Amino acid sequence: MRVVAAMSGGVDSAVAAARMLDAGHEVVGVHLALSQSAATLRESARGCCTIEDAGDARRVADVLGIPFYVWDMAARFTRDVVDDFTREYAAGRTPNPCLRCNEKIKFSALLDKAVALGFDAVATGHYAQIVETTDGRRELHRAVDAAKDQSYVLGVLDADQLSRAFFPLGDTEKPRIREEAAQRGFFIAKKPDSHDICFIPDGDTRGWLTRRLGEAPGDIVDTSGEVLGHHDGAFAYTVGQRRGLGLSRPAADGEPRYVVEVRPRTNQVVVGPAELLGVNAISGDHARWCGPAPEGVVRVGAQVRAHGEEHAATAWADEGRVEVRLDERIRGVAPGQSVVLYDGTRVIGSATIAASRLERESSAAPSVRSAG
Amino acid sequence: MTAYLDHAATTPMLPAALTAMTEQLAVVGNASSLHRTGRASRRAVEESREKISRCLGARPSEVLFTSGGTESDNLAVKGTYWARRDADPARVRLLVSAIEHHAVLDCVDFLVAHEGAKVTWLESTADGLVEPATVRAAIEADPESVALVSVMWANNEVGAVQDVAGIAAVAREHGIPFHTDAVQAAGHLPVDFAASGADLLSVTAHKLGGPIGVGALVARRDARLVPLTHGGGQERQVRSGTLDTPAIVGFATAIVAATESMEAEAVRLTALRDDLIERAMALGAGIRPTGFWQRGDGVHRLPGNVHLLVPGCDGDSLLYLLDAAGVSCSTGSACQAGVPQPSHVLLAMGISESDARGALRLTLGHTSTQGDVDAVVDALPAAIERARRAREATAS
């Protein structure tokens, strides 16, 4: 097959490209230029789109002896990922830009361009597995390395996208990938992993948002509406957040307080005790299915944030919406994050969390089917 | 099989130059040393200087060796600016064409940003030409403020050949130094420094069959230049550094050979160029040549330059697809962080940004054959179709 290897300049995508080549594919390396301002490109020390990273990717491609190109996706990335990220925060939600990038950029803009140019597929260095079923369908599964598993951020890919995707690292533990990179002579074998959001290289999301959205001072209140403190912009707060609230008065019971709600309309951040964070019902929209949509009510594992735990639950889909009922209460369910549904190691699909609440345990859904 | 159509980027070394340079590489000697070994090296350098000066219509003492076109342009533009400003603080205005190579443009940007220079960009016609009248108007707006005029001899992207003598005459009337970047012209067109009236002229070896890494700034004896590199005082105290004798010998051998075969090569390459342009236009994809082009005319457009605009395509997609089909060529313009930018030359010629993104430069040289042209024409239709689909796929 003719395959585009998306190469960020990091270890993982380098080994992924090498493995595709070893598997006998015709591989071309492509680095995505995602920043519209060349100045940011030059100044940011970290992140996935610096000049050094493009140079590192090119160096690896040269070692592999494959062609290498930089494709300019900055306009699409700004529109579909960065602007969406800002808008979501402004609306009081907590988006995951990596999901959006996989859905709209890596497996849409990049994949579409690659297919138009005569390629068959895109390979990335994500830790996840594609499993082909006996009837030829391609399923998305968790990676072998549970600590590195990135199936959560790929839960937005539909069957068409998965049919043209390769994740060659999913069967290997991360330390082995570094060893392999060293054995292959890649000088980036010891390059640190990137953890931050690539377009916020200093990791200061609050500062970045404030620069874009401006300061919007408002009140921090408790659930009764009493003002406990002030903030410079409700958008900088996430449900479940405990640190950085700057409250002058401790709670009456001395227990820590958490953000339990962000109200963009009144520019209020609501805080309360931990028990208010416990929810067992999630409503999601923007449903995306990695294969056929589940029919009826199914038992699933639900994951509500990247690298979070999986929780036993019941779910059912209705058009583009998904309802999830968790067996146990969980905390830290933030609107804007995605709930990704699993059947064993297989990813069923995902939805963006629109709302969560505590329902009486008896109000669970009716007849349950296996996720099939 | 690779069809190499990127001779304007660099052209293979001529066999005679390769032999001469390789032989010289085995010989020890610093041309600045006083002993017999040094003298032998110096003799090789000076004989080379004489050969090069003859080919360029210059005197040997006017040839200053550099590391190539970029250094020559830097020395000409910055060196002259500083010398002129030092002599008269009012002379800070640079008159530079908008279609120059980045080696000139970025010097101007640097001088404006850090050294108090002002710039008047000389406009280009739709054909990629700077008219002497444009230069005259720019000078006469404020003659006492002008430090330097710089207009390239032949454009590296679209192959447009300027009326260098006409522009030089205007500058000379006002006593203003005139620099021309002749990197693409030397060895391909008759370049006569004395007859041109230019004060400074940049050339490089690797565009005419010599090695990469050596070039020259041809500078009149009365040209005042502030040096950019200081040290041993070589090259009229203007360009310090041990001379690269083997490269200089290769350069001289190449330019002599290129000059000898120039007339015949121009005829041969013009015919190949015209065949490629006409067959590309006949593909019916709306392809058109950029700038001035007339069948059989190897005087106003470089004989080996084909520059096409392919509607609806991105140049970098075409580049990839042609590369995969065994054709090496270029979009002609510079990249920023690996991302192709719409060419400033095309924009200066009044071409829209969207059209400019579909640029393809195919340049011919001494190893080019009819087979190379056939390979491009065969590969183009499929490449264009796919590149169009790719642009549609990524359109926002």
Determine whether the annotation assigns residue A24 to a binding site: no
Identify the pLDDT of residue B262.
98
ipTM of the complex as predicted: 0.85
Q: Is residue B3 part of a domain?
A: no
Q: Residue B390: which of A28, A79, A117 has the nearest Cβ?
A: A117
Q: Residue B68: which H helix or E strand, with range?
A: none
Cα distance from B205 to chain A (closest Cα, Å)? Answer: 27
Which of A154, A173, A190 is the C-terminal boundary of a domain? A190
Identify the pLDDT of residue A280.
95
**Mean pLDDT of the region B98-115:** 97
Within this chain, do residues B301 and B223 fall inside the same structural domain, yes or no? no
Within this chain, do residues B32 and B136 fall inside the same structural domain, yes or no? yes
pLDDT band with cut points at 50, 70 and 90 for residue A42: very low
Token pair, residue B211, equals 């090695």
Within this chain, do residues B191 and B95 fall inside the same structural domain, yes or no? yes
Q: Is A119 left (phi over 0), alpha (psi -120 to 50) or beta?
A: beta
Identify the pLDDT of residue B90.
97
pLDDT band with cut points at 50, 70 and 90 for residue A37: low
pLDDT band with cut points at 50, 70 and 90 for residue B339: confident
For A213-333, list the strands marked E by DSSP.
218-222, 227-231, 257-263, 268-273, 279-289, 297-303, 310-318, 321-330
| pLDDT tens digit sequence for A271-327 | 998 888 899 999 999 999 999 999 999 999 999 999 889 999 999 998 899 999 999
Q: Is residue B6 part of a domain?
A: no
Q: For a pLDDT cut of 70, what percent of chain A falls above it?
A: 93
Quote the CA–CA distance of B26 and B16 in Å, as a whole number: 16
Q: Is A98 a catalytic residue?
A: no
pLDDT of residue A371 exceeding 70, the answer is: no
Cα distance from B201 to chain A (closest Cα, Å)? Answer: 33
Residue A2: beta bridge partners? Answer: A26
Q: Is residue A176 part of a domain?
A: yes
State the CATH number of the domain containing residue B101. 3.40.640.10
Q: For a pLDDT cut of 90, what percent of chain A falls above it?
A: 65
User: Which residues span the domain enclosing A262?
Assistant: 215-275
Q: Is residue A371 part of a domain?
A: no
Quote the CA–CA distance of A51 and A195 in Å, as a whole number: 18
Q: Residue B345: which H helix or E strand, with range?
A: helix B344-348
**Contact (CB, 8 A) for B337 and B113:** no
Q: Residue A79: which of B337, B394, B396 has the nearest Cβ?
A: B396
Determine whether the annotation assigns residue A12 to a binding site: yes
**Mean pLDDT of the region A218-222:** 92
User: Which residues span the domain enclosing B226?
Assistant: 15-259
pLDDT band with cut points at 50, 70 and 90 for residue A47: very low
pLDDT of residue B332 exceeding 90, the answer is: no
Within this chain, do residues A161 and A305 fall inside the same structural domain, yes or no? no
Quote the CA–CA distance of B291 and B124 in Å, as a whole number: 11
Contact B394 A76 (CB under 8 A): yes
**DSSP three-state, residue B169:** helix
Within this chain, do residues B199 and B255 fall inside the same structural domain, yes or no? yes
Within this chain, do residues A81 and A137 fall inside the same structural domain, yes or no? yes
Within this chain, do residues A347 and A334 fall inside the same structural domain, yes or no? yes
* Count of H-run helices and E-run strands, chain A: 11, 17
Alpha-helical runs (H) found in B174-261: 193-196, 245-260
Q: Is A203 left (phi over 0), alpha (psi -120 to 50) or beta?
A: left
Domain count across chain A: 3
Which pTM value belongs to this model? 0.88
Q: Is residue A207 part of a domain?
A: no
Length of chain A: 372
- Pairing type for strands B178-181 and B200-204 reads parallel
pLDDT band with cut points at 50, 70 and 90 for residue A332: confident
* Whole-Å CA distances, B87 to A287, B80, B110, B170, B371: 73, 11, 20, 22, 56
For B328, phi then psi, to 5°, come to -95, 120
Quote the CA–CA distance of A138 and B79 in Å, as a whole number: 65
Measured from the Cβ of residue A62, the count of other Cβ atoms closer than 10 Å reads 12
For B199-336, list the strands marked E by DSSP.
200-204, 215-219, 288-289, 305-309, 327-328, 335-336
Q: Is residue A206 part of a domain?
A: no
**Mean pLDDT of the region B311-331:** 94
Q: Residue A67: which of B323, B390, B394 has the nearest Cβ?
A: B323
| pLDDT tens digit sequence for A49-81 | 567 888 899 999 999 999 999 998 988 999 999
Long-range contacts of A184-187 (CB under 8 A, 24+ apart): A184/A15, A184/A18, A184/A63, A185/A63, A186/A11, A186/A14, A186/A15, A186/A18, A186/A60, A186/A63, A187/A59
Quote the CA–CA distance of A301 and A328 in Å, as a whole number: 12
Identify the pLDDT of residue B334.
74
Cα distance from A181 to chain B (closest Cα, Å)? Answer: 24
